[in-house]
Amino acid sequence: MSYKVALIDDDASLTELLSEFLVAENFSVQVSNDGLEGFDSITSNKPDIVVLDIMMPHMNGIEVLKRIRSKSLLPVILLTAKGDDADCVLGLELGADDFVTKPCSPHALVARIRAILRRTDVKNNPSQAPIPILAGPLKLYTTRRRIECDGVALELTSTEFNLLEILIINAGQVVKKSTLSKEGIGRPLTPFDRIVDVHISSIRNKIRHMPDGGSLIKTVFRKGYQLSVE
C-alpha cells in the first residue's frame, strides 16, 4: 500500500529532491514550503507520517509540532540543522518521534520513515482477540498498539509506545539503552545521544508513580532502564 507523507520544509530544492525519491519509493507526498501551509495540509490530507523542518517562515516546526500534538499522535520526524541540539531535544520533549540531521540523504530519510511506519502500522495487522501482557499496573495489547495503566489507555506517540512495549515485555529486567534505541527507535545509539532518555522522561510523565513517589521506570546507572513490577 502507498503511505502518505507530509513533507514540510522551506528549502524548495531539498523538498523537490526528497519528494522525487519518496515517490520513486512508492510513497504519496504532499509538499509544503512553510509551516502554516504545512499544518493546513496535514489537517486536510491526513497523512500517515510528517517530515517537518524546524526553521521555517510563518510558523516554525516547533509550533507546527505543538499543534499536531494538541490534536493527534501522528508520527513526526524532525529535520534539524547540524548542531541544533537544543531544538532537537525540545522537539522530542514535545512528542516528535525521531529526527534526521540535515543535510540528509534521501536513503537515510526513507529508512527512518519505514522504521516508524513498520512499528505503527495497525492497518495490515491481522485481526485477533487481544491478549494483554501484564506488568504491574500496565496492560500491553500488542496487536492493538494499546497500553493501559490502571485500566486507562495511555496517549503515547509511536516511539513512546515502542519503548514502553520493550520495557513491559522485559519487566523486572534491565534493558540497555543501546537495545532500546535499536529495537524501539530503529537506529543505533551514538555517543552523547539523548533520544532514548528524552522519550523515557516523557513516558514517565504519562504513567502513575509508585506509592513512595518513585517512578515505575527505574534508571540503572550506566546500564539502562528497568520497569519495576513490585
Find cell 491526513 and name the residue: 46
On the question of pLDDT at 212 being above 70, the answer is no
Strand order in the sheet with 174-176: 174-176, 224-227, 217-220
Q: Which CATH class is domain 133-227?
A: mainly alpha
Report the percentage of the chain scoring pLDDT > 90: 68
pTM for the full predicted model? 0.81
Overall fold of domain 4-120: Rossmann fold (3.40.50)
* pLDDT given at position 2: 84
Q: Dump pLDDT digits (tens) for 65-87.
A: 999 999 999 999 999 887 677 88
Q: Dump pLDDT digits (tens) for 198-210.
A: 999 999 999 977 6
Can you say whether residue 119 is alpha, beta or left, with left for phi > 0 and alpha for psi between -120 and 50 degrees? alpha
List the domain boundaries for the chain: 4-120, 133-227
* pLDDT given at position 230: 67
Cβ atoms of residues 104 and 17 within 8 Å: no
Q: 6: burial class by Cβ within 10 Å (0-12, 13-18, 19+)?
A: buried
On the question of pLDDT at 130 being above 70, the answer is no
Paired with 81 in beta bridges are 102
